[in-house]
C-alpha cells in the first residue's frame, strides 16, 4: 500500500474545521440542554421532587438507625425498638418506591427530550441551503443526529439526576454529621480539601480526553459512510487495501483514545476511594479515642457517624463515574448545539410572499453567481423564456448549466442581478411555494426507500394508484413498470437500489410529472436511459411538455433539436442562442459541440 496515499487520506478525514477537539466546559450548555425539559415541566418537577426526597431518605434512615441504637437498644426497651423498627421498614419501602418512580420518570423525560432534540435538528437541517450540505461530510451530519444525541441520552437520563441525588445525599449526610457530633465533623473538613484537589486535577483531563474520543468516533462514522457510499469507486480503482488501511488507522486511534479516557478514570476513582478510606481510618482513631476517654462521644454517636460517613463518601465514586460519562454527553451536546446554531447562509426575506399561480415566463437579468467568493461561475446571464417554451442548455462540463437551473429553483441566490418568474423576483417569493409549481428530474436521481408508488406520490401524496399508472401510461412506459414483480408497488431500497438506472429515471420522470408543474427542469435527465427507452419517451415528453416552460440540460441531439431556444454556455457566459438550425448555420461554438457529438457517436 502506498503510505503517502494513506497519510493523505487519513489527514483528509479530520473533523470539520468548525468542530475543534477541545472547548471549555460551559455551564450554559448544561442549562441549554436542561431547557429542553421545559415542555415536560410537570414530569420534570415531580422528578426533581423525588430526587430531593431520595437525597434526604438514606441519610434520614441512617440517622434513624443511630437513634434506635442510642435509644431503645441502649435502654433495653424491646417494645420501643420494635416500633422504631416498623417505622424504619415503612420509611425504607417508601424510599424504594420513590427510587422506582425516579428511574421511571428519568427515562420518560430522557426519551421525550431526545425526541425533541432530533426533531429540532432535523427541522433545522431542512432549512439549510444546498451549499451547507456540499461543504460537510454526510457521515459527520449523521454522527450529530445519531451518536452525539445518543451520548446525550445518558447525560439526561442518568448523569444529571444521579449526580443531583448524590450531591444532595452528601449535603444531608454532612448536615446530620455536624448535628450529631461537631468534633468528629472536623475530621471530615480536614480531608475535604484533598478530595477537591483530586477532582479539580482530573476533571479537565477527563473532559478533554472524552471530547477527543467523541471526535474520533465521528471520524470513524464518516469514514464508514464514505466507504459504503463509494464502494463502486473503491472496487473499480482497486482501493480496498487503501480504504481498509484508512479505517484501521482510524479505529486504532479511537481505541487509543478510549483507553486513555479509561486510564484517567481508573486512576481518578481509586484516588477518591483512597481519600474516603483514609477518612474512615481517621474517624476510627479519633472517634474511638473520644469514646474510650469519655469525652461525651457515645457508641451510638460513633455508629451513627459511621453510617452517615459511608453515605457521604459512597456518592463520591458515583459522582466520579457520572462525571466521566457526562463528559461524553457534554462533548456531544456542544457539537450538537454548534450545528444547531449554524445559521443558514441565506433565507427567504421576512417580506417574502407565497408564489402566485404561474404561467411559466422566466427571465434572467444580468445574473452573476459564485459558490466561493472571488471565483464567479456565472457572468452576466440574461435571457427570457416565454410560457410553454422549451429551453435547451448546452455546453461543456463546468460551463454553468446546472448552476443556472439551481438559481431558477432558488437553491441559490444570485450575487447580482435578478431571476424572475411571471415578473416576480424570486427573492420576493417563498421558496417552498415556488417549488410546488416546479418539477425536477436531476442528473443524479434519488429515490427514497419504499415502493415505486410511494416515490411517485411524494410529489402529490393524495394521488391514487390509478393516477400513478396513468402517469406512467402518459410516458408510454407503463408496461416497463408493470413487468416488475409487483408493478408500481415494487419495493426499492435507498437511492433506488433494486431498480436499473433506466427504471430509476422513469420513476423520477413520473414523480416530476405527477406534480403537474408549470416549469419543468430536466437536468441531463436522459443521460442514464438507453437509446431504445429514450425513443419511447420522446412522444410522451413532447405531449407533456406542451404548455409548460421547460429547461433541459442535455447532451442528446434528440432533445436539443426540438427546443424552441438553445442557449450555449461557456465558462459561465452565454456565447450563443437560437434554434438548433440557426446555431448550426453560425458555425460557431454550438456547431463545434455538434461535430464533437457526431464524431463521438460514429
Write down the CATH number for the domain with range 362-600.
3.40.50.300
**Which pLDDT tens digit goes with each residue over 86-109?**
888 898 899 889 989 998 999 899
CATH topology agreement for domains 27-340 and 362-600: no
Report, in this order, helix, strand and coil percent for the chain, each rounded to 5: 65, 10, 20
Q: How far apart are CA 222 and CA 288, in angstroms?
A: 61
Tracing cell 474545521 back to the chain, one arrives at 17
Class at the top of the CATH hierarchy for domain 27-340: mainly alpha
Phi/psi at 26 (5° precision):
-115, 125
Query: What pTM was computed for the model?
Result: 0.71
Every domain of the chain and the residues it spans: 27-340, 362-600
DSSP secondary structure code for residue 148 in this structure: I
Ranges under pLDDT 50 in the chain? 1-25
In sequence order, the 6+-apart residues with CB closer than 8 A to the CB of 602 are none
Model pLDDT, residue 22 = 36
Cα dihedral 593, 599, 600, 602 in deg (nearest 10): 140
Closest of 501, 136, 431, 37 to residue 509, by C-alpha: 501
For 376-408, write each residue's pLDDT tens digit: 999 999 999 999 999 999 988 888 998 999 999
pLDDT, one tens digit per residue, over 504-546 is 888 888 888 888 899 999 876 555 555 666 666 666 667 677 7
Cα dihedral: 12, 15, 20, 24 (round 10): -150
Amino acid at each position: 500500500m502506498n503510505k503517502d496515499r494513506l497519510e493523505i487520506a487519513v489527514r483528509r478525514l479530520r473533523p470539520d474545521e468548525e468542530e475543534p477537539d477541545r472547548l471549555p466546559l460551559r455551564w450554559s450548555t448544561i442549562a441549554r440542554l436542561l431547557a429542553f425539559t421545559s415542555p415536560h415541566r410537570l414530569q420534570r418537577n415531580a422528578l426533581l421532587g423525588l430526587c430531593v426526597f431520595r437525597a434526604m431518605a438514606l441519610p434520614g434512615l441512617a440517622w434513624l438507625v443511630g437513634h434506635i441504637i442510642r435509644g431503645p437498644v441502649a435502654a433495653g426497651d424491646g417494645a420501643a425498638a420494635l416500633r422504631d423498627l416498623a417505622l424504619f421498614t415503612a420509611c425504607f419501602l417508601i424510599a424504594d418506591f420513590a427510587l422506582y418512580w425516579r428511574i421511571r420518570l428519568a427515562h420518560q423525560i430522557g426519551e421525550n427530550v431526545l425526541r425533541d432534540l432530533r426533531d429540532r435538528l432535523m427541522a433545522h437541517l431542512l432549512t439549510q441551503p444546498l451549499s451547507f450540505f456540499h461543504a460537510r461530510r454526510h457521515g459527520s451530519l449523521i454522527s450529530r443526529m445519531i451518536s452525539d444525541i445518543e451520548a446525550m441520552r445518558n447525560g439526561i437520563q442518568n448523569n444529571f439526576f444521579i449526580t443531583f441525588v448524590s450531591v444532595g445525599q452528601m449535603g444531608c449526610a454532612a448536615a446530620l454529621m455536624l448535628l450529631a457530633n461537631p468534633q468528629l465533623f472536623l475530621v471530615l473538613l480536614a480531608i475535604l480539601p484533598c478530595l477537591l484537589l483530586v477532582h479539580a486535577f482530573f476533571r479537565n483531563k477527563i473532559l478533554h480526553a472524552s471530547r477527543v474520543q467523541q471526535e474520533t468516533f465521528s471520524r470513524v462514522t464518516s469514514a464508514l459512510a464514505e466507504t459504503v457510499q463509494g464502494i463502486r469507486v473503491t472496487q473499480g480503482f482497486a482501493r480496498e487495501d487503501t480504504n481498509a488501511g484508512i479505517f484501521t488507522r482510524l479505529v486504532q486511534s479511537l481505541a487509543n483514545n478510549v483507553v486513555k479516557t479509561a486510564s484517567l478514570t481508573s486512576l481518578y476513582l481509586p484516588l477518591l476511594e483512597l481519600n474516603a478510606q483514609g477518612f474512615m481510618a481517621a474517624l476510627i482513631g479519633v472517634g474511638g479515642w473520644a469514646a474510650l476517654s469519655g469525652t461525651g462521644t457515645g457508641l451510638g454517636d460513633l455508629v451513627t457517624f459511621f453510617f452517615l460517613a459511608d453515605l457521604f463518601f459512597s456518592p463520591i465514586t458515583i459522582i466520579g463515574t457520572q462525571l466521566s460519562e457526562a463528559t461524553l454527553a457534554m462533548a456531544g451536546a456542544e457539537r450538537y448545539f454548534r450545528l444547531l446554531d449554524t445559521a443558514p447562509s441565506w433565507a427567504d426575506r421576512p417580506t417574502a410572499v407565497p408564489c402566485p399561480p404561474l404561467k411559466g415566463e422566466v427571465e434572467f437579468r444580468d445574473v452573476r453567481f459564485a459558490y466561493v467568493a472571488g471565483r464567479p461561475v456565472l457572468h452576466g446571464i440574461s435571457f427570457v423564456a416565454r410560457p410553454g417554451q422549451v429551453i435547451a442548455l448546452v455546453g461543456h462540463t463546468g460551463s454553468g448549466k446546472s448552476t443556472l437551473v439551481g438559481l431558477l429553483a432558488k437553491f441559490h441566490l444570485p450575487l447580482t442581478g435578478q431571476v424572475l418568474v411571471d415578473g416576480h423576483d424570486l427573492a420576493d417569493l417563498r421558496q417552498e411555494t415556488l417549488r410546488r409549481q416546479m418539477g425536477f428530474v436531476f442528473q443524479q436521481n434519488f429515490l427514497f426507500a419504499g415502493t415505486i408508488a410511494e416515490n411517485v406520490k411524494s410529489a402529490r401524496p393524495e394521488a391514487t394508484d390509478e393516477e400513478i399508472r396513468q402517469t406512467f401510461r402518459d410516458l408510454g412506459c407503463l408496461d416497463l413498470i408493470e413487468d416488475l414483480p409487483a408493478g408500481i408497488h415494487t419495493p426499492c431500497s435507498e437511492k433506488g437500489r433494486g431498480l436499473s438506472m433506466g427504471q430509476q429515471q422513469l420513476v423520477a420522470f413520473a414523480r416530476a410529472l405527477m406534480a403537474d408543474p408549470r416549469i419543468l427542469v430536466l437536468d441531463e435527465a436522459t443521460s442514464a436511459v438507453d437509446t431504445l427507452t429514450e425513443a419511447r419517451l420522446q412522444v410522451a415528453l413532447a405531449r407533456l411538455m406542451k404548455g409548460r416552460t421547460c429547461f433541459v440540460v442535455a447532451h442528446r441531439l434528440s432533445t436539443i433539436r426540438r427546443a424552441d431556444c438553445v442557449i450555449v454556455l461557456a465558462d459561465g457566459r452565454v456565447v450563443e442562442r437560437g434554434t438548433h438550425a440557426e446555431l448550426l448555420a453560425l458555425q460557431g461554438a454550438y456547431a463545434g459541440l455538434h461535430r464533437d457529438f457526431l464524431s463521438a457517436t460514429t
